[in-house]
Amino acid sequence: MMKRIYICLVAMLMVIGVDAQDKNPQQRFSPEKFDAALQEFITQEAHLTPQEAAAFFPIYNEMLQKQRVLFNRQRENAKNKPQGEEACRKAIEESDQIDVELKRIQQEYHKRFFEILPASKVYDILMAELRFHHRMMRNWGRDTQGAPQQRFPQHRQGHKHEPNNK
C-alpha cells in the first residue's frame, strides 16, 4: 500500500516535469496549489481538527521535502539510459538505494506522526493521501470540459525499445 503512495508521488513529480514544459501558463503545474489542495483534502478526509492540522502539516511538509529531493534524483537518473551493462547495474542499484531511503524516511516520519496523533488518524491521513493522488492521476490531462489532452511528445521512430512500424 505504501509503495502505491510512492508510485503516485513519483508519477506526480513526473507530471510536474511535463507540465513545466507546457506553453499555456494557465495549465502550468503550481506546487503551491497542489500542496494546498492536498492539505485541504487530507484535513477533510481524515477529519483533522484545526489543532491537529496545525501540529501535523509542518512535520508532514518536512517529510515531503526530504522525499522530493530523492524523487528528483530518481527523475534525473531516469532521463537517459546508462550506456553499458555495468552502468545499467549501477543505475538500478542506485534506484534501489533511493527506494530504501524513501522507506526509511517514511518510517521515521510515521513514528513522529504517532507522537502527535492517534494511529487511526495517521491511517486516515495516509489513505486520504493515496486517494488524493489517485484522483489527481485520474483527472490529469483533462481540459475544463473533461476531454483528455495529449501531454507527451510523440515517440521517436525506430527507438530501441519500441517496435518499428515500417
Q: Is 18 within a domain?
A: no
The number of domains in the chain is 1
Q: Is 130 within a domain?
A: yes
Report how far residue 53's alpha carbon sits from residue 42's, in angstroms, rounded to the nearest whole number: 9
Q: Is 24 within a domain?
A: no
What integer pLDDT is reported at residue 140 of this predicted model? 73
What integer pLDDT is reported at residue 146 of this predicted model? 45
Q: Which residues of the chain have pLDDT under 70?
A: 1-27, 141-166
Instruction: Return the C-alpha cell found at 160.
Output: 530501441
Q: What is the pTM of this model?
A: 0.67
Report how far residue 81's alpha carbon sits from residue 79's, in angstroms, rounded to the nearest whole number: 7
Q: Is 23 within a domain?
A: no
Its domain, for residue 90, covers 2-11+37-78+86-139
Q: Is 105 within a domain?
A: yes
Helices (H), the chain: 2-19, 31-45, 50-78, 85-116, 119-139
What integer pLDDT is reported at residue 38 of this predicted model? 92
